[in-house]
C-alpha cells in the first residue's frame, strides 16, 4: 500500500513545477509523434511490397521501362496472354500519373475495359458511394479509390481534373489493395484518347491473374519468353515485386525513416533524463526530509521511477494519439512511378509507440533514481 502512496506523492511533487513538466511532456510528444509517423511509413512499405502465399497477380510491363509514360505494349497482347497455360484473366491497363517521381500526392489514372471492370474489378471492390453502372454509363466516368477521394475531398458527381485528364466521379470504392484505394479508374478507350493514342492501340501494362499461386514464377517466365521476339518485349513480376521495384525511392525513404525513429527514442530518453535531473536538484532538501522520517532508498528510487514513467506516458499518449488522428484523417501516402504506398497507422501501432516511449522513459530515470536513493541525509541537507 505504501508503494501507491509514494507514487501519488511523486506525482504531487511533479505537479509543483508545472512549466518544467509541461515542456518535457511537449518535447516527448513531438518525439513520439515522429516515432509513430516513422512506424506508419515502415508498415506501409512492408504491406505494399511483402509477398504472401496467397498472391496470384502478375504485372506485365514493357521490358527495360520504368515510368508509365515510357511503357507501351500493344493491347492485342491480351489474346496471346489468355492462351498461356495458368493464366486466369488478363486486363489491359493504361496508366497516366500526375507525377512520376516520389511525391506525397500522386494521382494515378488507370484505364480498363468496361467488361474487365465488371468481371475483374467489381469482385475485389466495395462501392461506398455511387455505383459501377454510373461509372460505365458515361465515357468520362470514373471510379475513385477511398484514399484518393478522402485526400482530394471528392464526392460522387464532382468534376475532377489532374494531369490534363478531366473526369466525372461515378463512384467511390473501398478495396484491400493500396493501389486500388489510391487510383482513379476510367474506361480504357477514354484514357487512350486523352493520352493522344488510339482506341485499341497501346496500353501501359497487363494485370494478369494466375489460377495457381504456386506457379506464378513459371507463368511469368513463359509470358516473357512468348513476347521476347516481339516488337515490345515484356518484363513480368508478381504485383508486390513490381511495386517494390517501382518504389525503390520509397523503400529508401522508409529505411532512412528508421533512423528517425531511433532518434525519436533517443530524444525521449534525453528529455526524461533532463527533466528528472532538474527535478531532483530542485527537491534535494525534500528528499532528505523524506529520508529523515523513514523513507528507505528503495522508496526514494521508486518515486523517481514513477515520475519518469508519468512524464513518458503523458507525452507519448499525446504524441502517438496526435499521430494516429493525423494519419487517419489525412490518408497520407507516397507515390512513385504509378504505385502508391500508404502511411498505415493503427491502434496497435499507437500502443507500441507509447510502450516504447514508456520503457525508454523508465530507463532514463533509472540512474537518477539510484543516485537519489544512495544520497545520504547529510548530503541532501548540504545540497539544499
Closest listed residue to residue 301, CA positions, set 363, 364, 372 = 372
In a domain, 341, yes or no: yes
Query: Looking at the structure, do residues 185 and 255 belong to the same domain, yes or no?
Result: no
Query: Looking at the structure, do residues 167 and 28 belong to the same domain, yes or no?
Result: no
Query: Looking at the structure, do residues 260 and 200 belong to the same domain, yes or no?
Result: no
Answer with the one of 204, 232, 260 that is the final residue of a domain: 232
Query: Looking at the structure, do residues 254 and 222 belong to the same domain, yes or no?
Result: no
In a domain, 344, yes or no: yes
In a domain, 131, yes or no: yes
Residue 4: CB atoms within 10 Å: 9
Query: Looking at the structure, do residues 133 and 7 belong to the same domain, yes or no?
Result: no
Query: Looking at the structure, do residues 209 and 110 belong to the same domain, yes or no?
Result: yes
Query: Looking at the structure, do residues 225 and 87 belong to the same domain, yes or no?
Result: yes
327 touches 350 (CB < 8 A): no
For the record, the C-alpha cell of 155 comes out as 464526392
Query: Looking at the structure, do residues 204 and 272 belong to the same domain, yes or no?
Result: no
Closest listed residue to residue 321, CA positions, set 359, 349, 358 = 349
The number of residues in the chain equals 384
Q: Which residues are bridge partners to 342 per DSSP?
A: 333
Torsion angle of C-alpha atoms 362, 368, 373, 376, degrees rounded to 10: -170
CB-count exposure of residue 175 (10 Å: 0-12, 13-18, 19+): middle
Closest listed residue to residue 216, CA positions, set 63, 51, 79 = 51
Query: Looking at the structure, do residues 102 and 169 belong to the same domain, yes or no?
Result: yes
Q: What's the whole-model pTM score?
A: 0.74
- Pairing relation of β-strands 234-238 and 165-175? unpaired
Closest listed residue to residue 16, CA positions, set 279, 384, 380, 310 = 279
In a domain, 55, yes or no: no
For the record, the C-alpha cell of 267 comes out as 530524444
Closest listed residue to residue 274, CA positions, set 27, 8, 12, 7 = 27
Distance in angstroms (rounded) separating the CA atoms of residues 363 and 175: 43
In a domain, 346, yes or no: yes
In a domain, 319, yes or no: yes
Number of domains in the chain: 2
Distance in angstroms (rounded) separating the CA atoms of residues 328 and 360: 26
CA distances in angstroms from 246 to 190, 221, 249, listed in the order given: 26, 19, 8
Q: Which residues are bridge partners to 73 per DSSP?
A: 203
198: helix, strand or coil: coil
Answer with the one of 232, 257, 285 that is the final residue of a domain: 232
Distance in angstroms (rounded) separating the CA atoms of residues 184 and 109: 5
In a domain, 218, yes or no: yes
In a domain, 282, yes or no: yes
Query: Looking at the structure, do residues 108 and 220 belong to the same domain, yes or no?
Result: yes
Query: Looking at the structure, do residues 84 and 181 belong to the same domain, yes or no?
Result: yes
Answer with the one of 172, 201, 232 that is the final residue of a domain: 232
Query: Looking at the structure, do residues 255 and 336 belong to the same domain, yes or no?
Result: yes
128 touches 143 (CB < 8 A): no
**Residue 295: per-residue pLDDT:** 59
Q: What is the pLDDT along the chain (384 residues), one digit of tens a residue?
A: 565 665 665 666 666 677 777 888 888 898 899 888 888 888 877 777 666 656 788 999 998 877 788 889 999 999 999 999 999 999 999 998 877 776 667 888 999 999 888 888 888 899 999 998 889 888 899 999 988 888 888 999 999 998 888 999 999 999 888 888 888 999 999 998 887 777 768 899 999 999 888 888 899 999 999 999 888 999 998 887 777 676 666 667 667 777 778 888 888 888 887 777 766 665 666 666 555 555 565 676 777 777 788 888 888 999 999 999 988 887 777 776 677 777 878 888 899 999 998 888 888 877 776 766 566 554 545 555
**Residue 256: per-residue pLDDT:** 73
**Residue 4: per-residue pLDDT:** 63
**Residue 207: per-residue pLDDT:** 92
**Residue 177: per-residue pLDDT:** 80
Domain of residue 102: give its range. Answer: 64-232
Amino acid at each position: 500500500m505504501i508503494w501507491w502512496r509514494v507514487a501519488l506523492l511523486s506525482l504531487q511533487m511533479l505537479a509543483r513545477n508545472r512549466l518544467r513538466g509541461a515542456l518535457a511532456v511537449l518535447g516527448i510528444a513531438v518525439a513520439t509523434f515522429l516515432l509513430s509517423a516513422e512506424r506508419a511509413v515502415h508498415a506501409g512499405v512492408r504491406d505494399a511490397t511483402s509477398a504472401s502465399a496467397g498472391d496470384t497477380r502478375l504485372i506485365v510491363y514493357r521490358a527495360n521501362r520504368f515510368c508509365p509514360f515510357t511503357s507501351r505494349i500493344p493491347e492485342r497482347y491480351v489474346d496471346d496472354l489468355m492462351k498461356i497455360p495458368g493464366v486466369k484473366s488478363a486486363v489491359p491497363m493504361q496508366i497516366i500519373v500526375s507525377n512520376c517521381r516520389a511525391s506525397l500526392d500522386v494521382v494515378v489514372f488507370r484505364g480498363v475495359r468496361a467488361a474487365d471492370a465488371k468481371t475483374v474489378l467489381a469482385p475485389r471492390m466495395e462501392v461506398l458511394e455511387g455505383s459501377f453502372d454510373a461509372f460505365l454509363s458515361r465515357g468520362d466516368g470514373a471510379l475513385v479509390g477511398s484514399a484518393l477521394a478522402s485526400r482530394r475531398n471528392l464526392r460522387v458527381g464532382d468534376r475532377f481534373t489532374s494531369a490534363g485528364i478531366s473526369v466525372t466521379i461515378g463512384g467511390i470504392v473501398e478495396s484491400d489493395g493500396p493501389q486500388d484505394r489510391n487510383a482513379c479508374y476510367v474506361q480504357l478507350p477514354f484514357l487512350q484518347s486523352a493520352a493522344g493514342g488510339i482506341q485499341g492501340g497501346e496500353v501501359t501494362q497487363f494485370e494478369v491473374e494466375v489460377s495457381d499461386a504456386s506457379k506464378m514464377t513459371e507463368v511469368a517466365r513463359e509470358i516473357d519468353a512468348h513476347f521476347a521476339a516481339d516488337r515490345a518485349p515484356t518484363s513480368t513480376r508478381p504485383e508486390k515485386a513490381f511495386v517494390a521495384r517501382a518504389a525503390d525511392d520509397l523503400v529508401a525513404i522508409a529505411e532512412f525513416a528508421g533512423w528517425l525513429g531511433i532518434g525519436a527514442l533517443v530524444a525521449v530518453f534525453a528529455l526524461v533524463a533532463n527533466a528528472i535531473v532538474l527535478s531532483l536538484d530542485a527537491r534535494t532538501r525534500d528528499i532528505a526530509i523524506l529520508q529523515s522520517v523513514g523513507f528507505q532508498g528503495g522508496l526514494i528510487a521508486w518515486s523517481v521511477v514513477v515520475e519518469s514513467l508519468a512524464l513518458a506516458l503523458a507525452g507519448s499518449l499525446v504524441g502517438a494519439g496526435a499521430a494516429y488522428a493525423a494519419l487517419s484523417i489525412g490518408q497520407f501516402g507516397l507515390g512513385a512511378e504509378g504505385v502508391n504506398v500508404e502511411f498505415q497507422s493503427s491502434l496497435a501501432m499507437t500502443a507500441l509507440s507509447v510502450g516504447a516511449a514508456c520503457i525508454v522513459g523508465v530507463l532514463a530515470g533509472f540512474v537518477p533514481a539510484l543516485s537519489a536513493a544512495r544520497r545520504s541525509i547529510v548530503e541532501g541537507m548540504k545540497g539544499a
